[in-house]
Each structure stands twice: as C-alpha cells, then as structure tokens.
Amino acid sequence: MRITGNMININPYVRKTIPQLIKKQSENMPDSKPFKNAQPEAVNSQSGKNSYKVYLKTDDMLFSGGNGTGLSFYIKYAENSTAENPIVIAKGVDEKGNEFERTININEIDPHNATIVEMRALEAYLNVDKGGGLSSLSLSAGNLGINDRIDFVAMFRKDINDLSLLRQDQLVQFYSNSMKTYLDFLDQKAR
C-alpha cells in the first residue's frame, strides 16, 4: 500500500500500523474515501524485518532488476523461443515477496496495455538504448506492481510534455527515441 499526499515521518524504531498513519494522513486530505477500507499492516523498518531478493545478471539473462515496490526478477529466453516467435521466461518475486514465473510471448506485448515485466522483456528484446542508465522507461514505472497494466506510450508522452515545459531537451530526446522504438515495434507487428 502506498500513502500519498502529505509526508509522514516514521521513526523506524517505533512500531506503528498503517491505519494509525492513514487516520493522521486523511485528516489533512479533502477526500479520504480511498483509505476507508485500508487493512492493518505493520510498518517496521528495523533491520532484518524486511528482506529483498536480488538477481544478479548472468550471461544467459536478457534482464535482471526490479523497482521500488520490492518487485525483483530476471528474464531469459525460453527453450522453445524462435526468431519468428520470441518467447521469454520471467522469474522472480513480486512486490509482496511471492515467487512468480511468467511466460511472455514478445510478439503479443502491447505497449499501450502492458505490465512492467512485459515492458522489461520488450526493452531487453529490442535492445532499447538506456542512455547510460538502468532503463529506457519512465521513472514513473518504478511504482508499478507485477499485475499493474498501463499505457506506456501515454506515460512517455506525458513525460515528454512535462520535460519540454522544463526545457530538459536531452531527456525529451531520450524519451522520444525510446517511445519511437516501441512504436516502431507496433508498426512492424501490424505489417
């Protein structure tokens, strides 16, 4: 669960529950309806309580990484993958710490309606320029869970528009090139 709005300072040595924090948070919010059905969940950042699995990239992996939600995974080609029908296997742990394995047919990925795992698979398959960084995708993708489907093309367009207003020309060019790569993939599929 992610609490948005005003920042809440949490002393990592004091055990609090999400409902206590939500009550304090929602007092300052004009519309607190989204928090009405929140379930209790302990917040405790003492060392050893939260652990994350990290997959180190090996030569046979197309991708290894994760995001800020705790989602961590790697991607490899499936044994039955071909040049005409590329298929990958994504394995890892989701944002709740549950192990998962997904088979992804690259040709079926739609950047207008994709998960972060599908887009990482497509990014790796297309060898999209990461501009010397970790990703060609928007920083907004860092909060996506394993089952969250979004329109990545719309996300790119929003980022490009925002960065244009801020006169961040290099980033505008970087995200424009990334978006073009994904749109070219869609065009190629349509032929």
pLDDT digits (tens, 9 = 90+) for 70-97: 899 999 999 999 999 999 999 999 999 9
Is 186:113 a contact under the CB 8 Å cutoff?
Answer: no
Q: What CA–CA distance (Å, rounded) separates 123 from 116?
A: 10
Looking at the whole model, is its pTM more than 0.95? no
pLDDT value at 159 more than 80: yes
The mean of the pLDDT values for the chain is 78
**For the chain, what are the domain ranges?**
61-190
For residue 110, CA distances in Å to 9, 65, 119, 137 come to: 39, 21, 9, 15
Alpha-helix residue ranges (DSSP H) falling in 58-191: 116-126, 152-165, 169-190
Is 6:39 a contact under the CB 8 Å cutoff?
Answer: no
For residue 52, name the pLDDT band (cuts at 50, 70, 90). Answer: low
Q: What CA–CA distance (Å, rounded) separates 104 from 110?
A: 12
For residue 189, name the pLDDT band (cuts at 50, 70, 90). Answer: confident
Alpha carbon 122 to chain centroid, angstroms: 13
Is 179:161 a contact under the CB 8 Å cutoff?
Answer: no
Q: For residues 31, 18, 144 and 7, what is the CA-based torsion angle, rounded to 10 degrees? A: 60
